[in-house]
Amino acid sequence: MVFGWGKKKEDSKTSDVSSTKQIQLSEVSGIVRKILELRTSQILSDIKSVRDTTQPLIKDLTVIGSALEKDNLQVDDIDKHLRIIVVRGKQQVIDMIKKDAISLPDVKSYTDAENINVILNQMLKKIGDVLGRQTRVIHIFAKKYAEKLKEILLQMQSNHSKIQQMLTNFDETQTTSTEILDSLKEIKDIEEEVSKKEQRISELQTHIDSLDKKIISSEDSIKKIKGSEEYVKLLELTKILDALTESKNQIKDQITSQFTKISRPLSRYEHISAMEKEQKNLLSGLIEDPFEVLMPKNKDSIILILENVRKAISSDSISVKDVDKSFSQLTEIEEALDGLIHQVNDYADKQEKIQNQIKSLEPHELQDLTKNLKNLMTDKEDSELKIKTFQSEINEIHSNSTKLIVDIETKLRKFSNTIYSISY
């Protein structure tokens, strides 16, 4: 049990008169350090003051210990066994005071303040434990010392609580100041990151400006080429070639229509005949796309194939529904073969002639310019996209900076009577 005293509860309310001050972000670090210095100086002064009021109390304890040591407590007339208990208890109290009621060190640094807190805590615990065990001896046989001891220890406990509270408050101040300085460092890192991104945006914008000039130059060169007489003639020849392609389709349809009439016997002949590779390829061409094989050099071979088909029909090697009709269709194709080959050959000659003219007029520089222009446009789009990405990242970083500044303002308010508004 304790020696009849407890911690005194104190409810103190202070009203701060706050003022608002506009400051720059660069001033925050100095303000924090200045406040921390003032608070350090203040807490050392306050704890020194408490220490100075506590030291006489410790001296009073030693005085009581000396008086108690000289006092026999009039135990000669009490029971022998009880007297032994009282004398032993009295001696424990005296020994405790001699050993633990020590002088407190002076307060010159924050470490001294922390040491005083530890010393007082240990002193009060040890004294409290001994007096708690001997409370009946003291209250009954040393009653004249009990009240004084209680008064001294209550005051020492109160002083110790004050010191503890001041240290706790100061620890919070130190923690807050450290958090503010950490936030300032974070903002500085953020500013450096923003600076790098803005530099990159500037470089990309310079690159885009350069690309714009090259794009204009390429477009002007392309426009100049497309405005030349040669290019106009090239477009006219291209139109002629397109029109020629239409005539090719007409010729191809006509030829396909003719050979479709005998496609069945031709296909059957392909399966039953044993021909050389060249002739077999020619037969496949007549079946699949006769336009592509109707050439003067193939005329004799084509006639030979047609006659062989005729013979195969005659010998019943190839069966057809109407033999006379098949013979008539074969004859029709053989008679029209010269005209069909001439049409194909005439088309091929015209096509080759126009293609050669186009090739001679085709500006190779235009192809290079067009390809280069496409690459320039792609590069510009990529650079513009990168700028948007960097700008978005910068906006997000600024948002984080704003949150940090609001947090700094809130923490400054914790240990300052001034409300600081930070410009950034």
pLDDT of residue 5: 41
What values do phi and psi take at 227, rounded to 5? -95, 0
pLDDT of residue 14: 42
- For 242-265, what is the mean pLDDT? 85
Residue 108 in contact with residue 93, Cβ under 8 Å? no
> What are 347-392's pLDDT values in tens digits?
888 888 888 887 776 667 778 888 999 999 999 999 999 999 999 9
> What are 77-94's pLDDT values in tens digits?
666 666 677 667 777 777
Tell me: do 264 and 156 sit in the same domain.
Answer: no
pLDDT band at 158 (very low <50, low <70, confident <90, very high): very high
Tell me: do 191 and 255 sit in the same domain.
Answer: no
Q: Measured on CA atoms in the order 407, 409, 410, 411, is the torsion positive or negative?
A: positive
DSSP at 98: H
At 380, which amino acid appears? K
- For 149-158, what is the mean pLDDT? 88
**Domain with 348 in it:** 229-362
Q: Is the pTM of this model over 0.75?
A: no
How many domains does one find in the chain?
2
> What are 138-151's pLDDT values in tens digits?
665 567 777 888 88
What is the percent of the chain with per-residue pLDDT over 90, rounded to a whole number?
Answer: 29
DSSP at 419: E
At 228, which amino acid appears? S
DSSP at 227: T
For residue 351, CA distances in Å to 326, 347, 354 come to: 35, 6, 5
Check whether 7 has a pLDDT greater than 60.
no
Tell me: do 27 and 168 sit in the same domain.
Answer: yes
Tell me: do 64 and 112 sit in the same domain.
Answer: yes
Q: Is 375 domain-assigned?
A: no
Residue holding tokens 């010159």? Answer: 108
What values do phi and psi take at 358, rounded to 5? -60, -45
Q: Is 378 domain-assigned?
A: no
The SS3 assignment for 109 reads coil
Q: Is 150 domain-assigned?
A: yes
113, burial (CB in 10 Å: exposed 0-12, middle 13-18, buried 19+): buried
Tell me: do 149 and 270 sit in the same domain.
Answer: no
Q: Is 327 domain-assigned?
A: yes
Lowest-confidence segment of 25-34, 267-276, 286-295 by average pLDDT:
267-276
Tell me: do 280 and 324 sit in the same domain.
Answer: yes
> What are 54-69's pLDDT values in tens digits?
999 989 888 887 877 7
Give the C-alpha separation, 103 to 381, whole Å.
80
Tell me: do 169 and 48 sit in the same domain.
Answer: yes
Check whether 3 has a pLDDT greater than 60.
no
245, burial (CB in 10 Å: exposed 0-12, middle 13-18, buried 19+): exposed
